[in-house]
Amino acid sequence: MAKFAFKLEPVLRQRKMIEDQKQRELAKLIRHRMIFHNQLRGIQSELSDSKRQLSDGLVGEVDMTRVSQFARFSGQSQVRAQTIVRELAGLESRIAEAQKQLVEAMRQRKALDLLREKQYEQFKRTQQRREAARLDDLATQAYTRRTMMEVETT
């Protein structure tokens, strides 16, 4: 029995590789976004802890050194957070672009997959017709032999 061979199989493999690459690129960008979000949460947590410690120290005599340290720390944290937010904004646009590229790669691969399925179904129908014709020929030959034997015996 003949074996199905899709003529565009190398192209399909290449498109699958491109799609996989686009998925990896998108996953990498999403990981970076998660890291930035975690850094922002960490900064917020540090600021909250520092504010709590500062407010505990404001009972009774106020330590101005501690207040000025908190102000510097708060300012530095705010600058770090703003930098992360800017990087995050740029990253979001890169993620959107990577998603578009992935969708396009998936669309191109899917088109070849559908073509392959269509050709495979056509191949199966052709094989079934050939098999039916072969069985019909065998049945016709058997009938002819039987008829010839009956004629010879009579």
Q: Tell me what pLDDT residue 64 has.
A: 79
pLDDT at position 58: 67
Torsion over CA: 36, 37, 41, 42 (sign) = negative
pTM beyond 0.75, yes or no: no
User: What domains appear along the chain, each with residue ranges and CATH number?
Assistant: 9-153 (1.10.287)
For CA atoms 60, 65, 68, 74, the dihedral sign is: negative
Q: What is the pLDDT of residue 50?
A: 84
| Residue 37 reports pLDDT greater than 90 | yes
Look up residue 60 and give its two tokens. 């009774």
CB 95 within 8 A of CB 26: yes
Please state the rounded mean pLDDT for residues 106-119.
Answer: 97
**Would you give the DSSP letter of residue 58?**
T
pLDDT of residue 131: 95
The C-alpha atoms of residue 122 and residue 47 are separated, in whole angstroms, by 67
24 vs 102: CA distance, rounded Å: 10
What would the mean pLDDT of 109-130 be, rounded to a whole number? 97
Stronger pLDDT, 1 or 105, i.e. the higher one = 105
Q: Which two tokens stand for residue 87?
A: 């990087």
Mean pLDDT on 132-140? 94
Element counts in the chain: helices (H) and strands (E): 2, 0
Which pLDDT tens digit goes with each residue over 39-74? 999 999 999 888 887 777 666 776 778 778 888 888
